[in-house]
Structure 1
Amino acid sequence: MARRTSWPKKVADKIKDSPIEQVRLTVPITDDPTLPVLTFRTWVLGLTACSLLSFMNQYFHYRQNRIFVSDLVAQILLLPVGKIMARTLPTKPIRVPGTKWTFSLNPGPFNIKEHALTTILASMGSGSPFAIEIISQSKVFYHKKIDPLPAFLLIHTTEMLGYGFAGMLMKLLVESPYMWWPDVLVTVSFFRALNVVEERPKGQLTRLQFFFLVLVSSFSYYVIPNYLFPSITALSFICWFWKDSVIAQQLGSGWSGLGIGSFGLDWSTIAGYLGSPLAYPLFTIINRTVGFIIILYIITPIAYWTNLYNAKRFPIFSSDLFDDNGQLYNISRILDEKEFKFDQKAYNDYSKINFSTFYALNYGFGFACITATLSHAALFYGGSVWRQLKVAHGDQKQTGDIHNQLMKKYDPIPQWWFYIILLSSLGLAFFTCEEFGGQLQLPFWGVLLAVGVVMIFLLPIGVIIATSNQYLGLGLITELLIGYLYPGKPIANVAFKSYGAVSLNRAVSFLRFLKQGHYMKIPPRSMFAVQIVGLLISSTINFGTAWWILSTVKNICEPDKLPPGSPWTCPSERVFFTITATWGIVGPSHMFAPFGLYKYLYLFFLLGALAPVPVWLLSRAFPNKKWIRLIHFPILLGSTLNMPPVRAVHHWSWFVVGFLFNYFIYRKYNRWWSRYNYVLSAGLDIGIAFMALLTSFALHNIYGVKWWGLELGDHCPLAHCPTAPGVDVVGCPVFH
């Protein structure tokens, strides 16, 4: 491939371009090291955006239809605000009293590097720390005391451990040109598109004008589903026609059933849990929907109506736990209240735990997804990943590309910085778990074991993500491991998952940002500064917001006690309560092998490992049939893993919008799609977030006019009913 003409020939002969074609086509091989990066504007805009994103995403986390404000919103909004500051702030240098150090409020035009670093700082607030679930479970579901200090330290130590782990693998997973992180290229491309000087096309709007038009429209419309007519978040017409039929409502309910014909007229229904469908490639949308249809509309009904695992005694779709009589399982009956641990005798006297049909099968597909991801990555990417890993671990003079050469102009991050973070976080983790009267239940060896799990899996998972964009989570593995080793301790199970799977997730996230900074030619120490500060700020705000909401909203997470129209139903937290009861209290040995009702679900591990093999063989036999390689079993098998809290109505609404924009509009109106698609997504996100905040604070504890449309459900009250003869559940007919 010819060298780029932007470099003189003598220089070009000495410089190796990236060995990855996608990088060569996306990332420029030029850099201007004189551009100001870590500026006053970076700190003011980045910290403000980080704080707002942290607060909003944590605040909306407990709602029935969660609203997620992505960092894409910050990426788009920060650019015009930064340019306004560049035009209006004074340029005169300011001297710090008592020193010779000076800085400027306005060092020049708001440049692309400054924009990228400010967005990365803001992005630290785009997620909710998983460790907050421990606070929710302790305070709301188990009604146990947890002090603010251990909760605060738990959140910060799990996040900071992830950053320490990331630093250990920075040379291999960031500086290596063979670790190219495909999804980072999308972000880099979008930064370049936004920072190109844009003139308004004749008869059209600029991206910024279009963004504000969408924002105002989304803000105005969201008063309807959020306050005036919440029922349009899930419209299930079959239930309206067959009001007295349990089976019809099981089939038609988008909230508590299979959701045939159900959809929502609310952007939070479409994008709140599954992410914006406008940002997903078409092959992912199709794979996920095909898997969803196979699991929900073929396998689940067959299992239910053949009465697998006594399925008809329970709802067809639910994340609740049930006893042998079809009633909701009373966890307090098998929990030693004094020592807060599993009571084996009480469990034997009461009942085994039962899942709904769908939920039981979904565990199996979760097991299959783990092994399918490993198998798929090994078959389709194994050879190339292994070659790249050997080369990347070799002589940096041979593996370095133009981007590494350009980054040598900047001071690297000393490795001992990361080691200090890792060791200090580990020490604080020991202190947090061992002190405070065992409120977290996890002993110090549990922290060490979790760290060992991360150290074993981080490199292979990081290589897979960095080269193939296939993500493998460790959630189920950590739950299984600690469930077998330390059963009967629900909070310990979640704490172990936080220090294991969640720390690994955070490490991968930090490595991704570091690679983004590498491509954007941002000084590494500036990246280090904004990530550390952003992490501490966002974690603190997330903690404070969660503690405030859980302490002030009366009957939060208890739908039966909430007033009509109240959004504080906590669907995610209710699912996590089921998880802590399953893996933490009862333990996998009583649920699965060797003593559980669902012991044969472990066969799904084998199913997942074998599933990608036929696709790989067909792709080798027919190399010209490129569509074969798009059959992606990790996505197919994992399509329903987030159900619940995701429901059928979320999936169908997400699919329809995603297919419309990424197939029909992409093909027929490609120029419009290229110009406005991502901007449309950001405008819809921020519009509903602003309206939800306004109504929450302006109309505190007032949830709308009482009428039929105020109900947050889909008016399918019989969808949760069993169909087995003789099972008597409140509000349900008894079959004979």
Structure 2
Amino acid sequence: MVGIQSGRRTAKVTTMDLTSTSSLEKMMSGDSEKLGRIETQDFEKNVEPVVANMEEIALKALHTDDDPSLNPWTFRMLSLGFGLSGFGSALATIFLFKPQSVSVSVIFLTVISYVAGNAMSFIIPSKGFVGRWFNPHSFNSKEHLAIVIMSSSASGAAYATEVLATQKLYYNIVPNAFVAIMLLLSSQLLGYGMAGVLRKSLVYPTKMLWPSILPLNSLIETLHRDKSEMKKKFNLFWIIFGIVAVWELFPQYVMPVLTGVSVFCLANRNSLVFTNIFGGASGNEGLGVLSMSFDWQYITTSSLFLPLITLTNSFIGFIICMVLFTSLYYGNVWNALQFPFLSQELFSQTSNSTSFAVFNQSLILDANNELNIAALESTGIPFFSASNASYLLTTNLGVTATVMHILLWNRAEVGQAFSLKSLKSFRPRDFWKKSPQSAAPKEVEDTPYLDPHYRQMLVYSEVPAWWYLGILAVSMVVALICIYNLNSTLPWWGFLIASLLSFLSTLFFGAMAGLIGFNVPITSVIQLIGGYLHPGKPVANMYFVLFGSNAQAQALFLISNLKLGQYGKLSPKCTFTVQIFGTVLGAIVNYILMSSITTNQREILLSIQGTNIWSGQVIQSFNSNAIAFGALSKYMFSIGRTYQTIVLALPVGFLIPLPFYFLHKRFPKSGFSYIVTPVICWYLGYLSVGINSSASMYFAIGFFVQFYIRKRYPAWFLKYNYIIAAAINGGTELLVFVTTFAVQGASGKAIPFPPYWGNNFQTGNFDFCARNPALAG
């Protein structure tokens, strides 16, 4: 699945292919030798190359040439960039309150900006004063890429949005709008300085692939390259875009049963066991085992470009996840049977299988929103659902397994960030020079494996170091002012520790994301650290997580966009500037729309299951963890307490990659290098939240593309695979946006489709699985 925040805890995944053991081993060990082994087989009477690793895809699926004369700084770029930034940030905020958290498709923004940019080029006069300033040339690829980067920078719901929504829904605290927006901006921009320090390690090398952006770069090339060369890809894109856009009206509105079809639930509509195992068409309904989904909003297209090794490891984790959750629940581990099968809430000890009692946090907090120990003693310690506790445990395993995995397999890449040569090259005076070509010619000569895409970027001026450092310094000052103004209870030293943790995690998890495209969310670990540093203070914990986790997420986002600019040959200064523009506008829209949704949909957002349209699962999870980790760490996670294994998972995670690494060293041809333990660990909690009926289709499509299409039709794969992914995303998101505002209540009033067998939610779950009556309470 494609990246999310804290709902369906997805990660961006990509890596090399199982067909080439030698290439894989070299890649995972950080060997700088060029990886180019290609397998061949017959295809339509010709010998066609099968791409054996992701580096080959990055070099073969995208052009490496450039035209430096193309100008991105136009009226079209700025007007469309700001307009789509507002649109994208609105859509991202809506998705934050959906039962399945899905990130805004940049592909959709790309298509809309292409149509609008060419329309403006055609309509606006091209001569005279108007033409000189508003339409100086035809709409080009660099204008387009700048628009896409600006709008994508805005198209995320900032973590501060979760903090503000949580305070409003659970604490009845509504801060001043100006201070709230400043909080959003400072938390978003903080990671940019970190990214500036690390970009030479995480962006420039060929090994840092960031494969999730390959479909986007492929689409932009298709739209702007020679039309005779790209005609088939262009036509295919629009045909699929239109078909999917029309199709999505059915699962989205007319026939929601298509979200998840379960043969098992149709056969037995009265069993809650069947609901827990086979249901999955509604939020937090069940595991969705063998369900079939026909809704691309939930299937997503990441499996179309997901490399085989990560897809395989994630599938292993997915299978174990189903067994693990079922065993924990029906084995009554952590008193699981007293609480819902899937939920992100905290539950009272009075909860039971017929009446789920959500923990009333206001009973244990004083007027300053800090823990009242006497009240806690009379109320009792709360519980997680077993699936949510398991997710926290396995995520902690994945976090520390990631660190060890990178140290074992990619020491060179991590060491490069802290090498003396790297630190010297970061001096601000170096960045005042006109271009890296004049600044570091010797360095270029000494790099025999310089990335062909990066080599083309040497004609452009680099971003001065003080731009990054200035953003970092201003953000930190504004953030400190905000946390004291908002009475966050987070001290200044806690803020500095959170920022340091962000930087370190950006290095390790950025290396993982760049190399194999997988990124384990670090939120739960940051919450745990914050809880022990600031015991009894749930609000302080929320702010500690905001700056400890969000800054890292933003740093990784900037780095991926720098790679996007490198693939598209957009100057670094333009990339940096449009990102700042988009981030600022996005924060403002995030706040406005969050305020509207939390007011209009308050009761649904506070309910356990929600609906298939609105859900508070992200906010519920964030708040539950703030109470559990922030106020009750000592009582819930310390040794001897109920959830001690969640903490013990951190040191255990360091050990998990070791057996496979040593076995690989002892038996290098036995395939132990294929085991990517952080991926497996993270997917052990994959089904803990959201709509799960899509998971089976997601993996089935991924394996079909990787095992069959890529190997039997390699030329077709390179030419059309990423365009198809782009078209499906674009058509889906168009309908999601239209239906959300037109009929699903984002504008304040919902217009439900009349009930019938294909729209069953009025009398049960969409897939006809039995609905648990305890959830109504």
**Which TM-score bucket, shorter chain as reference?**
0.7 to 0.9
> Counterpart of 2:705 in structure 1: which amino acid?
F
Is the 8 Å Cα contact of residues 369 and 637 (structure 1) preserved in structure 2? yes
Residue 751 of structure 2 corresponds to: 702
Work out the CA distance in 2 between the residues paired with 1:347 and 1:159. Answer: 35
In the superposition, relative to structure 1, how do residues 389 and 630 fare at CA in structure 2: closer, same or farther (>3 Å)? farther
Is the 8 Å Cα contact of residues 76 and 679 (structure 1) preserved in structure 2? no
In the superposition, relative to structure 1, how do residues 197 and 526 fare at CA in structure 2: closer, same or farther (>3 Å)? same
Q: Which range is displaced more, 326-335 or 123-132?
A: 326-335
Q: Does 1:600 align with 2:629?
A: no
> Counterpart of 2:263 in structure 1: which amino acid?
F
Residue 189 of structure 2 corresponds to: 160
Work out the CA distance in 2 between the residues paired with 1:257 and 1:455. Answer: 37
Counterparts in 2 of 1:126-145, with a 5 A limit? 126-145=155-174
Work out the CA distance in 1 between the residues paired with 2:110 and 2:529. Answer: 39
Work out the CA distance in 1 between the residues paired with 2:714 and 2:141. Answer: 26
Deviation at 1:312, TM superposition (A): 3.1
Deviation at 1:491, TM superposition (A): 2.8
Work out the CA distance in 2 between the residues paired with 1:560 and 1:182. Answer: 36
In the superposition, relative to structure 1, how do residues 460 and 628 fare at CA in structure 2: closer, same or farther (>3 Å)? closer
Q: Which runs of 5+ in 1 are unaligned?
A: 1-17, 96-101, 722-728
Residue 663 of structure 1 corresponds to: 707
Is the 8 Å Cα contact of residues 277 and 654 (structure 1) preserved in structure 2? yes
Is the 8 Å Cα contact of residues 161 and 422 (structure 1) preserved in structure 2? yes
Residue 196 of structure 1 corresponds to: 225
The DSSP-based 3-state class of the residue aligned with 2:559 is: helix
> Counterpart of 1:661 in structure 2: which amino acid?
V
Deviation at 1:547, TM superposition (A): 1.7
> Counterpart of 1:69 in structure 2: which amino acid?
V
Is the 8 Å Cα contact of residues 128 and 542 (structure 1) preserved in structure 2? yes
Is the 8 Å Cα contact of residues 92 and 104 (structure 1) preserved in structure 2? no
Residue 508 of structure 1 corresponds to: 556
Query: Can you list the C-alpha shifts for 1:489-511, whole angstroms capped at 9, x where unaligned?
Result: 33322221111111111112112
The DSSP-based 3-state class of the residue aligned with 1:262 is: coil
Query: Can you list the C-alpha shifts for 1:552-597, whole angstroms capped at 9, x where unaligned?
Result: 34634144898xx7722233222223222322332x2221113520
Residue 373 of structure 2 corresponds to: 344
> Counterpart of 1:301 in structure 2: which amino acid?
T
- The structure 1 residue matched to 2:345, chosen from 300, 320, 344, is 320
In the superposition, relative to structure 1, how do residues 94 and 640 fare at CA in structure 2: closer, same or farther (>3 Å)? farther
The DSSP-based 3-state class of the residue aligned with 2:689 is: coil
In the superposition, relative to structure 1, how do residues 604 and 517 fare at CA in structure 2: closer, same or farther (>3 Å)? same
Deviation at 1:53, TM superposition (A): 1.6
Work out the CA distance in 2 between the residues paired with 1:668 and 1:561. Answer: 44
In the superposition, relative to structure 1, how do residues 574 and 664 fare at CA in structure 2: closer, same or farther (>3 Å)? farther
Work out the CA distance in 2 between the residues paired with 1:731 and 1:86. Answer: 55
Work out the CA distance in 2 between the residues paired with 1:356 and 1:110. Answer: 53
In the superposition, relative to structure 1, how do residues 656 and 515 fare at CA in structure 2: closer, same or farther (>3 Å)? closer
Work out the CA distance in 1 between the residues paired with 2:760 and 2:175. Answer: 35
Q: Does 1:681 align with 2:687?
A: no
Residue 412 of structure 1 corresponds to: 462
Q: Which range is displaced more, 523-532 or 251-260?
A: 251-260
Work out the CA distance in 1 between the residues paired with 2:591 and 2:499. Answer: 23
Residue 218 of structure 1 corresponds to: 244
In the superposition, relative to structure 1, how do residues 470 and 240 fare at CA in structure 2: closer, same or farther (>3 Å)? closer
> Counterpart of 1:339 in structure 2: which amino acid?
N
Work out the CA distance in 2 between the residues paired with 1:477 and 1:561. Answer: 26
**Aligned residue-pair number:** 689
Residue 75 of structure 1 corresponds to: 110
Work out the CA distance in 1 between the residues paired with 2:495 and 2:698. Answer: 38
> Counterpart of 1:633 in structure 2: which amino acid?
T
Is the 8 Å Cα contact of residues 264 and 270 (structure 1) preserved in structure 2? yes
> Counterpart of 1:580 in structure 2: which amino acid?
A
The DSSP-based 3-state class of the residue aligned with 1:533 is: helix
Query: Can you list the C-alpha shifts for 1:147-201, whole angstroms capped at 9, x where unaligned?
Result: 3223211111101112233234445544677866565667555544543324389
Say what the alpha-carbon RMSD is for the aligned residues: 3.4
After TM superposition, the score normalised by the length of structure 1 is 0.84
Work out the CA distance in 1 between the residues paired with 2:662 and 2:608. Answer: 53
Work out the CA distance in 2 between the residues paired with 1:605 and 1:654. Answer: 30
Work out the CA distance in 1 between the residues paired with 2:622 and 2:234. Answer: 40
Q: Does 1:580 align with 2:632?
A: no
- The structure 2 residue matched to 1:61, chosen from 88, 96, 108, is 96
Q: Does 1:249 align with 2:301?
A: no
Q: Does 1:635 align with 2:660?
A: no
Work out the CA distance in 1 between the residues paired with 2:379 and 2:267. Answer: 40
Deviation at 1:460, TM superposition (A): 4.2
Deviation at 1:71, TM superposition (A): 0.9
Q: Which range is displaced more, 503-512 or 37-46?
A: 37-46
Is the 8 Å Cα contact of residues 219 and 688 (structure 1) preserved in structure 2? yes
Query: Can you list the C-alpha shifts for 1:98-130, whole angstroms capped at 9, x where unaligned?
Result: xxxx95333334333333223212221332111
Query: Can you list the C-alpha shifts for 1:391-422, whole angstroms capped at 9, x where unaligned?
Result: 65577554335677754543332222223222
Residue 289 of structure 1 corresponds to: 315
In the superposition, relative to structure 1, how do residues 730 and 482 fare at CA in structure 2: closer, same or farther (>3 Å)? closer
Counterparts in 2 of 1:245-394, with a 5 A limit? 245-254=271-280, 255-271=284-300, 276-297=302-323, 299-325=324-350, 326=352, 327-332=356-361, 334-336=363-365, 338-383=367-412, 385-386=414-415, 390=419, 392=422
In the superposition, relative to structure 1, how do residues 624 and 115 fare at CA in structure 2: closer, same or farther (>3 Å)? farther
> Counterpart of 2:335 in structure 1: which amino acid?
N
Q: Does 1:567 align with 2:592?
A: no
Residue 98 of structure 1 corresponds to: none
Is the 8 Å Cα contact of residues 591 and 597 (structure 1) preserved in structure 2? yes
Work out the CA distance in 2 between the residues paired with 1:324 and 1:263. Answer: 36
> Counterpart of 2:558 in structure 1: which amino acid?
F
In the superposition, relative to structure 1, how do residues 666 and 176 fare at CA in structure 2: closer, same or farther (>3 Å)? closer
Residue 180 of structure 2 corresponds to: 151
The DSSP-based 3-state class of the residue aligned with 1:199 is: helix
Query: Can you list the C-alpha shifts for 1:450-507, whole angstroms capped at 9, x where unaligned?
Result: 2232244434444454455453543122101111121333332222111111111111
Counterparts in 2 of 1:706-717, with a 5 A limit? 706-707=755-756, 709-711=759-761, 713-714=765-766
> Counterpart of 1:427 in structure 2: which amino acid?
V
Is the 8 Å Cα contact of residues 335 and 585 (structure 1) preserved in structure 2? no
> Counterpart of 2:145 in structure 1: which amino acid?
A
Residue 664 of structure 2 corresponds to: 619
In the superposition, relative to structure 1, how do residues 250 and 698 fare at CA in structure 2: closer, same or farther (>3 Å)? closer
- The structure 2 residue matched to 1:92, chosen from 109, 112, 127, is 127
Q: Which range is displaced more, 22-31 or 209-218?
A: 22-31
Is the 8 Å Cα contact of residues 346 and 358 (structure 2) preserved in structure 1? yes
Counterparts in 2 of 1:512-591, with a 5 A limit? 512-553=560-601, 555-559=603-607, 567-586=613-632, 588-591=633-636
Q: Which range is displaced more, 361-370 or 112-121?
A: 112-121
Deviation at 1:132, TM superposition (A): 0.4
Query: Can you list the C-alpha shifts for 1:4-32, whole angstroms capped at 9, x where unaligned?
Result: xxxxxxxxxxxxxx986648945766543
- The structure 2 residue matched to 1:430, chosen from 470, 474, 480, is 480
Q: Which range is displaced more, 423-432 or 34-43?
A: 34-43
Q: Which has the larger radius of gyration?
A: 1
Q: Which runs of 5+ in 2 are unaligned?
A: 1-31, 36-54, 426-439, 744-748
Work out the CA distance in 1 between the residues paired with 2:675 and 2:737. Answer: 41
Residue 50 of structure 1 corresponds to: 85
> Counterpart of 1:581 in structure 2: which amino acid?
I
The DSSP-based 3-state class of the residue aligned with 1:517 is: helix
Deviation at 1:229, TM superposition (A): 2.6
Residue 206 of structure 1 corresponds to: 232
Q: Which range is displaced more, 588-597 or 182-191?
A: 182-191
Work out the CA distance in 2 between the residues paired with 1:521 and 1:300. Answer: 46
Deviation at 1:85, TM superposition (A): 4.1
Deviation at 1:538, TM superposition (A): 1.7
Identity %: 25
Residue 531 of structure 2 corresponds to: 483
Work out the CA distance in 2 between the residues paired with 1:179 and 1:73. Answer: 25
Counterparts in 2 of 1:102-117, with a 5 A limit? 103-117=132-146
Residue 5 of structure 1 corresponds to: none
In the superposition, relative to structure 1, how do residues 441 and 107 fare at CA in structure 2: closer, same or farther (>3 Å)? same
